[in-house]
Each structure stands twice: as C-alpha cells, then as structure tokens.
Amino acid sequence: MYIQKFVKGIIGENQNGMSWEDAKSILRTHQGIYSNWWRHKGLITPLDVALVLTDANLDRHLHDYSSFGKESPFISLAAGCVERDTLLEQNHLYSAKDTALDFATGAGSHAGVLFFGWVVVGLSPAVCIESVAESVRELNVYHRWSPYQLEGEITAKVHIPANQLERAEWWEPGSTAPYDEFPNPHYQPPSAILNIRELF
C-alpha cells in the first residue's frame, strides 16, 4: 500500500453545491467527506457497506455517474495523471488541482471548493476493502480503457475522515487564486502510519 495525496473538488452553493461555511464545518467538526450514498441513506451498517462495495458499482461510478452518482458509495478524488503520446514520444502531465478546480467551478463559471488530503491506496484492486482507496487511473492495475482515465482519479470508499483533510480552499468564478483558505485544525499527516522508525 502507499499514501496518495489528492484534491477533491466540490461544486459551490450557487450551483446547489456546498457553501464555504459548510466546507469549513466539515473540517472543524470532524465530519469529513461522505459519499453520496451515505449522505442520502442516513444510518448505515457494516452489512450495508459490504453489499455496495462491488466491482459493478465501481464501474457504474466511473462510467455511468450521471445516473448512479447520487447513490454511489465511492468518492472521486483527483491525483493527477500522465498521458503517453507514443507518436510524438512525449508524456503529458495532467494536474490534480487543475482537474479538481475545473470540476468544482465548471471551468471557472461558478464558485467551488477544493479539499486537499491523503488516502491509503492498495497496489492491487481491493474494492471490497473499505479503508483502501482504488487507483483507477493506474493502467497497470485497472486495464480497462476509460474515457476518464486522464482525470487522474483515485476512488475512496464511503467516507474520508476529517483528520486526513489538510485544508480547504474557496474559489470564486474566473479567479486565478483562491478567494479564501481554511487549514484543518485537526489534520494528522500520514507520517504516523509510514514505515519509518526513529532512533531510541
């Protein structure tokens, strides 16, 4: 497994999305980011989680989001991607922040929120394991062709704890820098779970 940093873009309130106060509250009150499935269902059980974390539902989340998104237990996160152009013998980098910002603000047409954080990612597909995110952008792991591969998606499951979210940014329409930023007072960097031990 490895630690992957990410950016999560959420549409702003003027598009029936999230307000800046709600975004700050997610960090301040330890809520974290809920999947649409949990937010709409309310109370959930471990059995409920086991029944929805399936390969078929992950595929629907990735390729049929317009009809499945409101009930998806998965959470799309941007982590950046590399496109290989074999004809020109070049690699093209796609920024996680640019991808998340484009989604959150509708390419700069309305306000949006960006969350910055980290998740634990498995080296192999592990859809049924709730605590491990899926690197669906990684062609050595997920081989199926996808029109969305260059969005650089890492897919979390059910919930991202608030202490894994470093900060939030509020972006206004057409801006080139965040209008406001809120650091998470409860953020825990991933160093506590890394395999490095200090000397006695």
Question: Per the domain annotation, does 170 fall within a domain?
Answer: yes
Question: Per the domain annotation, does 199 fall within a domain?
Answer: no
Residue 172: how many CA atoms within 13 Å on its side-chain side? 4
Reported pTM = 0.90
Higher pLDDT, 195 or 132: 132
Q: Which domain holds residue 49?
A: 2-193
Question: Per the domain annotation, does 101 fall within a domain?
Answer: yes
Tokens of residue 27, six digits: 């960090």
Q: pLDDT tens across 19-68, in order?
A: 999 999 999 999 999 999 999 999 999 999 999 999 999 999 999 999 99
Number of domains in the chain: 1
Q: pLDDT tens across 134-190, in order?
A: 998 887 888 787 777 777 789 999 999 999 999 999 999 988 999 999 999 999 999
CATH code: domain of residue 28: 3.90.210
Question: Per the domain annotation, does 200 fall within a domain?
Answer: no
Question: What's the pLDDT score for residue 125?
Answer: 92
Question: Per the domain annotation, does 198 fall within a domain?
Answer: no
If you average pLDDT over residues 110-134, what whole number do you get? 95
Question: Per the domain annotation, does 166 fall within a domain?
Answer: yes
Contact 63, 136 (CB under 8 A): no
Q: Is 162 left (phi over 0), alpha (psi -120 to 50) or beta?
A: alpha
200 class by beta-carbon count within 10 Å (0-12 exposed, 13-18 middle, 19+ buried): exposed
